[in-house]
Amino acid sequence: MPDERCSACGGSSLTEHQEHTVETDKDGNQTPVTRRWTGACSQCHGSGIS
């Protein structure tokens, strides 16, 4: 059976990721922070195939 393209990344091996945290600013106030980045697909681990 041939390898199939990963359904999460469409075979590109990359997906968008985001992380949500709460950080304390310089005044001591808690602030929600969202970070976004493009990285290796978490389903296929960057191989592009399932």
What is the tens place of the pLDDT at every residue in 4-45? 999 999 999 999 999 999 999 999 999 999 999 999 999 999
Count of domains in the chain? 1
For residue 9, the model assigns a pLDDT of 96
Domain that holds residue 47: 1-50
Task: Provide the 10 A C-beta neighbour count for residue 33.
Answer: 11
Judge whether residue 1 has pLDDT over 70. no
Amino acid occupying residue 36 = R
Under 8 Å between Cβ of 16 and 38? yes
List of residues 6+ apart from 46 with CB closer than 8 A = 13, 14, 40
Q: Which residue has the tokens 């999460």?
A: 8
